[in-house]
Structures are given as structure tokens and as C-alpha cells.
Amino acid sequence: MLSNPGFAIRGMFLSSIVVILLTTFITTNATFATSSGNVATANVELGTTTESEPQVECQVSQEYPQKVLRWCNLITRYAIKHNLPPDLIAALIWQESGGSPSAYSRSGAVGLMQIMPRDGIATKFKCPNGPCFAKRPTIDELRDPEFNIKFGTRMLAGLFKRNGSLREALHAYGPMDGGYYYADKVLSIYERYGN
């Protein structure tokens, strides 16, 4: 007979709680806030921790095709971060890739926002100071939808800052032989689907 049955019951209860918590923690990813305010996900099975951008609510017009809307949260996050309208980034993605992350153009542009990488076909393009796209990411990096949207949106924001208007920024973003046709096409999509 136990001299203190309450102690034995508490011990069994606490052991059960610990087993349940550990099982839950191991079979799922635990999410916690970091001191920087970002969300970090601890993957216990792999023993890795990654920081990601804070989640944002979709601000892309629901008029866009589902192939574009599936990237809504990423579009919104990086558009807001770079002070661009989310619907403009959605329009560019619709024009460039139709929302397909595996899009690859004849000229070598890659992914959702059709960015020229530093490798592949793009190495053939020569500028006065060497390869035109030497400072760009690789094809493999640009195949990642989040990386592609993040890089492309930052690039467009830089062009907007340098050129002073969305039309001029899109003209610079588009194909070299596209003239203003490309910019006007993206702006037309933006006006058609955007808020």
C-alpha cells in the first residue's frame, strides 16, 4: 500500500501531461515569436529553426484568376514591404507567368515574375562591363515562388524609385525590345482586375 496516494496520482497525471505535450510538439511544428517580432518556426524533427516574415492578410483583388490568387499572401507581404500596390504585382505576375512558378521563357527568364538569372541562357547576354545579369540570383533560387516574388518586387520598387512612375518602372522591368507595350499591358491588367 502507498503511504501517500495523492503523490502517486499527481505523479501519474504529470507524466501523462508531459507525454502528451512532447508527442504534440514532436509531430507538429512549434511556432513562437522572436525578439525581432518575426515568427520563427522550430522544426523539431529536423532540429532547424527558420525565421519568416510576419503573416499578412491578402490585399489582392479577388477578381484575379485563382492561378494568381494562390500567391496572394506573398504578393501582399512584399508589395506592402516595398510600398507598391499588391494588385500591380498580381498584374505583373499574371502577364509574366500566368501564375506558374515553373514558367521559363525563351530568353531564360524564370518563375512567377520572370526574372533573368545569372546562369543558364542569361550568361549569353553581354553588357559593356561584362555579363548583364552577373549580380542576379540563380535559376534554382528563382524557382522558389517566395524568393521570386520577394526579389522581383524589390527590383520593381527600385526601378520605380529611379524612374519616378509606374509606367517607366514597368518599361524598364520588361523585355528590352518590348517598348511601352509591355508597361501598358501590365497597367491594363492592373486597371481591369485591381481595386
Name the percent of the chain lying above pLDDT 90.
Answer: 54
Q: Is the pLDDT of residue 42 over 50?
A: no
pLDDT at 128: 83
Are the beta carbons of 115 and 109 closer than 8 angstroms? yes
Average pLDDT over residues 129-148: 88
- Range scoring the smallest mean pLDDT among 16-25, 66-75, 112-121, 129-138: 16-25
Q: Is the pLDDT of residue 8 over 80?
A: no
CB within 8 Å of 147: residues ≥ 6 apart: 137, 141
Q: What are the chain's domains?
A: 5-52 (no CATH), 66-193 (1.10.530.10)
The residue with cell 518586387 is 153
Average pLDDT over residues 62-77: 97
pLDDT at 53: 57
Q: At 46, give phi and psi (nearest 5°).
A: -95, -15
- Cell matching residue 126: 553581354
pLDDT at 68: 98
Letter for the amino acid at 6?
A: G
